[in-house]
Each structure stands twice: as structure tokens, then as C-alpha cells.
Amino acid sequence: MQTQQTQIQEKIFELIKKSFTNKPSNPNLLKIRLKEFGLSPVDWDIVCESEKYRIINVDTPDFQFVGYANQAKTRWESLTLSSL
């Protein structure tokens, strides 16, 4: 039987492991930060694709950017127009 301390350590390990996934810890944070690039967050959906993000216009899905976030997934490092 596992001790309570072992269970806590396993839970902490799982939380740390989740923090290193390619998804932002707060999915809305990167979306909100689209404002820094002059984009309205309500007009865009964000899809995580490995190390990059696809930013897709909700009204015109062919209008897309590719974005890279910082390691903590809290700020955009860059956005590049992908397609019109």
C-alpha cells in the first residue's frame, strides 16, 4: 500500500509533467495576448500543433497565422501570416 507521502509525490510529478506539455496552462491566455498583435481574440481560434500554434480566423478559416509561444506558453514569441 502506498503511503500518503508517496501519493502526494506522484501527484506533484503528474502536475509537473503536465506543465511541460505543448498546450498552454491557460488556453485563453495566448488567445487574449493576440491583442498585442492587433488581433481581436474573439475572431480567432488557436490549435496547438507540436511546438507551434495555428491561429485560425473563425469567419474565414483560410486566413491563418502560425505562432510560437515562449517556453512557459504564456506569451507569443512571434506570429507569421500563414495563408489568406
Would residue 5 count as lying in a domain? no
Would residue 13 count as lying in a domain? no
Task: Tell me what pLDDT residue 12 has.
Answer: 76
HEC string for the chain: CCCHHHHHHHHHHHHHHHHCCCCCCCHHHHHHHHHHHCCCHHHEEEEEECCEEEEEECCCCCCEEEEEECCCCCCEEEEEEEEC
Q: Which residue has the higher pLDDT, 44 or 51?
A: 44
Would residue 69 count as lying in a domain? yes
Res. 25 pLDDT band, cuts 50 70 90 = very low
Mean predicted lDDT score pLDDT of the chain: 84
Domain containing 26 equals 22-83
Would residue 1 count as lying in a domain? no
Res. 15 pLDDT band, cuts 50 70 90 = low
Would residue 12 count as lying in a domain? no
Would residue 32 count as lying in a domain? yes
Tally of structural domains, the chain: 1
